Structure 1
């Protein structure tokens, strides 16, 4: 006799009702996941257990009329993981991405999260994950701000003012109680204006738009970088104040003087090892480096100009007291945050448990009795 299996479907409104917009909860959840990462109680894809995910990247040309071709941010990605601790859950984030989506009124990426029983593989939940991804993406640099930023920081600059930039702001601001001014910088001024208005209305802060990256950077005590791959950014050393914290949730370029003067704190050392391994396996390491946030730093490590990854600091080490992050007020720190599926699992799990407790979502039947079990 087989076993009845059902799972919880959670739409975006269900995810909202379960608390995904509770920013402080998201930040605390991310901090807990960082502790598990540094302790090793997790698994991600690949033989090294640290792969970001498996990508379908479309070719530039194809003889097949229906096969998609390459375009800005056009890909499908599967991101499986196991997360230990109290979560003790397996699952996968899955998404398709295409910059052209905005022309038809859709987000650039459309994401779903599956949670599975770690022993049987049965689905426990299938949920809308755009807000989960945004929530955890914002929460990760907020943990960086919690442990690395100067507590007297008064000016926060946001580079990248789209949905992810907004999510980063909502989370980061909870960790910077002394901020008085927010500078919004975006390739499209319209988005910068929209975010500045949102900040003024909802937080009562002085929020302005600054189209010059130099001017936006020069004033900042903390800089949040959340621009897409299609908007390359170039920071110069002379623009950055002593004591500034750069929270890099998106790609950026810096002149070598700035890279050399900055102390790097990584989200998770193992992930960056995996990126370097993939770059080597790709056959074009330099091109691969150009596609990932840590690429410019990996180049400096290869050249012997920055400490090797194994001699570097992760935020998890800072959280559990194994290492120091900020050691003086004049130190410039860059926190590199690339995103990992374990954060989606951690946040998704807590939302799932809240949904079960409050009766949120819809239970769907997988089977009353799996036919395969009847035939065995």
Structure 2
């Protein structure tokens, strides 16, 4: 068995004599689906995450409204012979220009030879990997009979989160989109209806009432904003709800209040969430929860050896993700090897 695991993938073997390739946004979209990436992460994270070295990301404030992030990772395992670096820029003012707040590129190298293998649009890769991580966690944490998804935020991440959550919870019948700009929420709903690809029984609507009103009826609440003021109040979460927090990655950002954290069983994608995400950093500093109250991370959820996901139909769960270079590398691996096998 060990010998089989150490075999180099055919795609990586042929890459040794191939020139570097560029995987554009249209190409990436043509070779990846949320379902395929969710399955790939579920299958490979438990076995490969320990083989990947991933130092803390470099984060540099380039202006009051913008940041540069460098996320390196590498593996010397013959079954995963890659070095990868994601270069990310974040500009909080881009919404006023009708541009995404995050732009990124990913560069993949062969870790055995140092050869440059590929570069790809990591803006799109990040949208896929982040939404699929949330959906994979939801598979273990949300109720299997969830019917209503509330999407808070209508930026570039929102349609991916919606599609990913619907992928793992086909029971969903209603998707509600809330955004500070109702026009943007309506535009997203219109685009989702036009693009299709959903079951006929799934309805979409923009949130015209108070946010609290829709939080109270949602089985899954997914947040992808840069809010520094809590949007989801714990008192409004109904029993059995699952709260998916994607947006915050600094101490000043908070998408939910302390009560939401206090009422919930809390899970994270990786340890960085406890020192980066405003919701958790603040709750830990204020003594709302202790580190022992964070039940487990995503890999532990998948393994189901020491950590149990949802235990009953009444408990409230929270999953907080901040992203990781490990998941970036495994996602880039799938894109690259799929491309090489197809070409």
How far does residue 255 in structure 1 lie from its aligned partner after superposition?
3.9
Q: Which residue of 2 aligns with 1:75?
A: 67
CA offsets, 1:105-142, max 9 Å, x none?
Answer: 65332211111111332211111222111110110100
Tell me, in whole angstroms, the C-alpha distance in 1 between the residues paired with 2:51 and 2:107: 20
- Residue 312 of structure 1 pairs with residue 259 of structure 2: no
Alignment CA distance shift 1:171-1:177 (3 Å): same
How far does residue 345 in structure 1 lie from its aligned partner after superposition?
1.6
| Matched pairs, number | 316
Matches within 5 A, 1:20-99: 20=32, 22-36=33-47, 40-45=50-55, 51=56, 53-58=57-62, 69-71=63-65, 74-83=66-75, 86-99=79-92
Tell me, in whole angstroms, the C-alpha distance in 2 between the residues paired with 1:183 and 1:85: 45
Q: Which residue of 2 aligns with 1:256?
A: 258
Tell me, in whole angstroms, the C-alpha distance in 1 between the residues paired with 2:47 and 2:181: 38
Residue of structure 1 aligned with 2:189, choices 196, 202, 211:
196
Larger CA Rg, structure 1 vs 2: 1
Alignment CA distance shift 1:122-1:142 (3 Å): same
TM (norm. structure 2) is 0.84
Tell me, in whole angstroms, the C-alpha distance in 1 between the residues paired with 2:149 and 2:52: 33
Which segments of 5 or more consecutive residues in structure 2 lack a partner in the other structure?
Answer: 1-15, 249-253
Tell me, in whole angstroms, the C-alpha distance in 2 between the residues paired with 1:85 and 1:300: 42
Alignment CA distance shift 1:183-1:102 (3 Å): closer
Tell me, in whole angstroms, the C-alpha distance in 2 between the residues paired with 1:327 and 1:85: 38
Tell me, in whole angstroms, the C-alpha distance in 2 between the residues paired with 1:85 and 1:333: 38
TM (norm. structure 1) is 0.77
Matches within 5 A, 1:202-241: 202=196, 203=198, 204=200, 205-211=202-208, 212-227=210-225, 229-230=226-227, 232-241=229-238
Larger RCO (CA under 8 A, 6+ residues apart) = 1
How far does residue 238 in structure 1 lie from its aligned partner after superposition?
2.5
CA offsets, 1:199-244, max 9 Å, x none?
Answer: 44412422111142212211100111111x2463332233111000
Alignment CA distance shift 1:230-1:311 (3 Å): closer
User: Root-mean-square deviation (CA), in Å?
Assistant: 2.5
Which segments of 5 or more consecutive residues in structure 1 lack a partner in the other structure?
Answer: 46-50, 59-68, 276-291, 360-376
How far does residue 98 in structure 1 lie from its aligned partner after superposition?
2.3
How far does residue 335 in structure 1 lie from its aligned partner after superposition?
0.6
Alignment CA distance shift 1:16-1:199 (3 Å): closer
- Residue 6 of structure 1 pairs with residue 19 of structure 2: yes
Matches within 5 A, 1:1-376: 6-17=19-30, 19-20=31-32, 22-36=33-47, 40-45=50-55, 51=56, 53-58=57-62, 69-71=63-65, 74-83=66-75, 86-101=79-94, 106-201=99-194, 202=196, 203=198, 204=200, 205-211=202-208, 212-227=210-225, 229-230=226-227, 232-251=229-248, 252-269=254-271, 271-272=272-273, 275=275, 292-293=276-277, 295-308=278-291, 312-322=295-305, 323-359=307-343
